[in-house]
Amino acid sequence: MKQATNLVISSLKNVVVLLWLQHFVDNEPTAAHPDPIPASPYDRKVVTPARKRPASRVFTPPSTKKRVIAQDAVSSGTDVLLEAGSSLEACDGLLLLGNSQLQSQDPLVNTSAPGAADPASAQSTHDAVVEDSCFINCENCGHSNVLKSAVVRKLNRRAFVSAVQSSDAQCFYYTGIPTVALLLYLFTWLKASAQNIKLWDGNRKGLPRKTVGRKRAVLTRFQEFLLVLVRIRQGFDTAHVSYLFGVSQSHVCRVFSAWVIFLHHCIKPLIVWPSQSLVKSNLPNSFKRYPRTRCIIDCTEYYVQKPFRPVAQKQTWSNYKQSNTFKQLIGIMPSGAITFLSKLYSGNISDLAIVKESKFIDLVEEGDDIMADRGFNIRHLLLPKKATLNIPSFSHGKKLSVKAVRRSRNIATVRIHVERAIRRMKMFKILSGIIPLKL
């Protein structure tokens, strides 16, 4: 037992000696390194290298950036400029400013020539020109020509107008008018009266006054006419329309408001209540079952911005649409032409109430047959006029008979024409979206 203990103690001494020798650099005390390395890391002296100071930064002012159109973009943009029909001088096939005009507008051109301006003053003048200019290089003559921002806006406006008139498809897409010929005919019909349009100034009654204001020459009458049609058809906001026509947003608002009122006064007389003989002479074959049909009526709703006042919110709330709306009664001939348009009413009004308020019954004559949906139960209003009502049958909680089902299907087949007329109206996206209250 004693020998075993001595053996363990001697082994531990050997381990301690080996561990102690590992604290020396050479694993043993030498003349170069007589002392052991400190066991604690906090006893070591850590020497950090000195940081180099960064080089002093020299401030360089930003260089003036010029808007230069690349050579490959010139060829693609040449056709657009040519189609614009600009009256500017041609520079070897491009509608750009001439070289003489370029030298007069850019003081830095030919500054080394005799009589040139001071370079410092020329640089400041050149910077002012650059801010309001667009530079374009000609591939043929190599001249760097200047286009003022006003000229660029004018070219963009003319390019867009020419694009609208390029085909019937483009004309229908941007204006809602099927053909270019019909667009030009409609403007020719309005042109004489449009000469006296006054831009909108908040006065709804003073419309046909003499034109006053220097900004009238910015757009031609035809361009103003297109501006209104494009905004109604596509529902563009004033910012996008101002970009397309190169005018300010306030000018777009004035033009749009004035032309909408002008078009209302000109086109409203075209919506007339036809006579019985006229309706019968244009009766489609699908109405042979209902030869006495005088008008098909239905209501449509337009989404509007939520009013701020709670009373207005309650009046414009529609349970059917679950939104704030305005409601309108529409009547069409069996041939599809719109013959009656009521004023706009609040969305919470019923179909029966809107028929009474719009005075539609006053137009009905003896022997007329009015076709409508189930919601228009106005038989008691037509009875004093000796007119009849044609609506689908009511089930009243019971199963409809075969005769009643066939009758309802036949009425729905021909009554769909009023839905198609409403769809043609909603094709103008300013009516299909949420209409701001300021409109």
Give 54's pLDDT tier (boundaries 50, 70, 90).
low
- Helix, coil or strand: residue 43: helix
User: What is the greatest pairwise CA distance in the chain?
Assistant: 140
- Mean of the per-residue pLDDT values of the chain: 74
Ranking 167-181, 192-206, 282-296 by mean pLDDT, the lowest is 192-206
Greater confidence (194 vs 73) lies with 194
Ranking 115-129, 160-174, 299-313, 317-331 by mean pLDDT, the lowest is 115-129
pLDDT for the residue 186: 93
Statement: residue 183 has pLDDT above 90: yes
Alpha carbon distance 283, 305 (integer Å):
40
pLDDT digits (tens, 9 = 90+) for 308-341: 888 888 888 988 888 999 999 999 999 888 999 9
pLDDT digits (tens, 9 = 90+) for 373-419: 888 888 888 888 888 888 887 777 777 788 888 888 888 888 888 88
CA angle 121–124–127, rounded 5-degree value: 150
Orientation angle between helical segments 149-164 and 168-175, nearest 10 degrees: 110
pLDDT for the residue 328: 92
Statement: residue 179 has pLDDT above 90: yes
pLDDT for the residue 208: 47
- Helix, coil or strand: residue 255: helix
Alpha carbon distance 194, 188 (integer Å):
10
pLDDT for the residue 250: 87
pLDDT digits (tens, 9 = 90+) for 79-92: 444 444 443 333 43
Please say whether the structural domain 276-432 has been given the CATH code 1.10.3470.
no
Instruction: Please give the model's pTM, rounded to 2 decimal places.
Output: 0.63
The residue-averaged pLDDT of 350-366 equals: 89
Statement: residue 173 has pLDDT above 90: yes
Statement: residue 26 has pLDDT above 80: no
Give 228's pLDDT tier (boundaries 50, 70, 90).
very high
Range(s) for CATH 3.30.420 in the chain? 276-432
Greater confidence (39 vs 130) lies with 39
pLDDT for the residue 143: 67
pLDDT for the residue 229: 94
How far CA 315 is from CA of 219, 329, 375, 390, in Å, comes to 40, 17, 20, 30
